[in-house]
Amino acid sequence: MLLLTGHRAVLPMIRAAVCFLAVGGLLYLAGCNPPADDKAQNALPYLGQEIRVAVPAGWGFKVLWEAQLEEWAARTGAKPELVEVDMTDGSGPLLKAEGAPQLIILPWTRRGELLVNRQLSALPPDALVESKLSWDDLFHGLRERQAQIDTGPGLIPISSPVLVCYYRSDLLEKAGLKPPQTWDDYQTLLDQLETWAPGLTAAEPWSPEFRATMFLARAIPYVKSSGQYSIFFNVEDGAPFIASPGFVKGLEGAQAALKKLSPDVLKLDPVACRNLVVGGKAALAIGLENGPVAGGFNLAATTPPAEKTVAAVQRADAVAIGFCRLPGAAQAFDTTSNEWLPVDNQAANFVTLTGFAGLCAAVPTGTKPEQASAALNLLAALLLDEGTAFPPGAKSLCRESQTLDAASWTGKDLSAAEAGKYVGVVGQSLRDRQQASELPVPGHVEFRAALTKGLTSCLESGQPPAEALTAVAAEWQEILKKIGAADVLSSYRSALGLSRRESL
């Protein structure tokens, strides 16, 4: 009786629940379901966002990226536009108020101009994760040194070539010799070249266009000790360090090397030097790979690569090629203590020169967060999609994942084993936190021109190294006055990841 009574008491409650569910279902079907427009919004995360991307004119980005941009637009709902900008040296401001882009792809050599007045923004942390820009996939030293600005990660590497030492491994092994660890070791190999590589030469890229870069690559192991920031300029007062003992030592070494080399090296670029080893004419060379596609690497970084061509080379028979990092130094001059410091617990003080060529991407200051998110999503799609086409020289080895396909980064005339060794050396160079980016300041062209002039006086006319670099330092002081010493210092500190110095 109690059970029956309880059961009857429950029936009204069940009927009420059924009615509630029925009414709720009708309401759901009638319109409580999210409208179709909301579904579209969820499927197209950047619906209606207009994204303008500034790219270097003359490279062919608009043609090469047309299909990828259309596919990305259909997938995200955004409206991307590529705007070609003349980024050659002396072409004027990279960013203008009218039609300001939300993303800019620019040469490393011109970033200093944008760092002066904080025209570049730090990247939002959520854009660095593996599913987006995959920041941790970049070589450690590259992302911790070259890619930083004073406010954090701010420059996304697209290409960042480095110089590598090529050598005839078959001849070195036969003579019982080892690849050079220091520039002194390298000079010894040059002095004994006729003994271990009779009839062959050695090559370094000392053409006028590349002369400043070759010198800096040689000199910086004598200049930058571990933990030292001041390399080209004093980070405290902006004074030039180009005539300091470390740079003088580097130029003395270059002068000694050129006495053992053919005068032709004063006309060679890195790819031409590389070709001399591959072609069996040189046993030792400083150079780099320009990829499997014929044509020269865009070493100037501001000139369209189509304007540079390199003749194909015929691989010599019975030639085995090895690779190692550019040599280091047994000691470095510390400008703070004004003394030479020995290298502790390692073979040499290795320092990688970066930023002399190649491209990076950045988000200009003032870009709205939602636009920055869309722009970086587009960049990630272009950078990390293996199907995206890049102009020759526009993309180089920057990431750990890229080392898995070594042949993508080397000439077809290298064997698979040689390609793997080359990629390994580039990765080793860019993982190292000991890096120095070539003059990341406004006036990059003017400072380089003055340096090239001084180097030519020394290497071609015989002016003593210390005297030549003292003259360069005097010209740099005049350039600082013209541009503004405070602006150069502010940009330089920002490129080193240091807090800005607004005034002197």
Query: Band of the pLDDT at 313, cuts 50, 70, 90?
Result: confident
Count CA atoms within 13 Å of residue 330 on its CB side.
6
Question: Do 164-355+424-485 and 46-160+357-403 have the same topology in CATH?
Answer: yes
Distance CA 159, CA 298 (A): 10
Looking up tokens 């042949």, which residue turns up? 407
Positive/negative CA dihedral, 215, 164, 148, 96 = positive
pLDDT in the model for residue 283: 98
Count CA atoms within 13 Å of residue 221 on its CB side.
26
pLDDT in the model for residue 503: 60
Per-residue pLDDT tens for 372-410? 999 999 999 999 887 888 888 889 999 999 999 999 999
Query: Band of the pLDDT at 500, cuts 50, 70, 90?
Result: confident
HEC letters along 439-502: CCCCCHHHHHHHHHHHHHHHHCCCCCHHHHHHHHHHHHHHHHHHHCHHHHHHHHHHHCCCCCCC
pLDDT in the model for residue 7: 36
Q: What's the average model confidence in pLDDT over 292-301? A: 53
pLDDT in the model for residue 206: 97
Q: Is the pLDDT of residue 228 over 70?
A: yes
Per-residue pLDDT tens for 454-484? 999 999 999 999 999 999 999 999 999 999 9
Fold classification of 46-160+357-403 (topology level):
D-Maltodextrin-Binding Protein; domain 2 (3.40.190)
Query: Band of the pLDDT at 298, cuts 50, 70, 90?
Result: low
- Residues 6+ positions from 86 with CB-CB distance below 8 Å: 57, 58, 92
| Residue 127: C-alpha distances to residues 41, 370, 376 (Å) | 21, 12, 7
For the chain, the average pLDDT equals 87
Percent of the chain with pLDDT over 90: 74
Distance CA 131, CA 15 (A): 50
Phi then psi dihedrals of residue 362, to 5 deg: -155, 160
Degrees to nearest 5, angle at CA 449 with 443 and 450: 95
- 130: its two tokens: 């593996």
List of E strands, 303-342? 321-325, 331-334, 339-342
Q: Is the pLDDT of residue 30 over 90?
A: no
Per-residue pLDDT tens for 324-381? 999 999 999 998 889 998 887 778 999 999 999 999 999 999 999 999 999 999 999 9
Domain residue extents for the chain = 46-160+357-403, 164-355+424-485
Q: Is the pLDDT of residue 246 over 60?
A: yes
Whether this model's pTM surpasses 0.85? yes
Instruction: Give one DSSP letter per residue of 386-433, joined into a string.
Output: TT----TTS----BSGGGG-GGGGS-TTS-HHHHHHHHHHHHHHHH-S
Per-residue pLDDT tens for 81-136? 999 999 987 778 899 867 899 999 999 999 999 999 899 999 999 999 998 999 99
Task: Select from 3.90.1150.10, 3.40.190.10, 3.40.50.300, 3.30.390.50 the CATH code of 164-355+424-485.
Answer: 3.40.190.10
pLDDT in the model for residue 96: 80
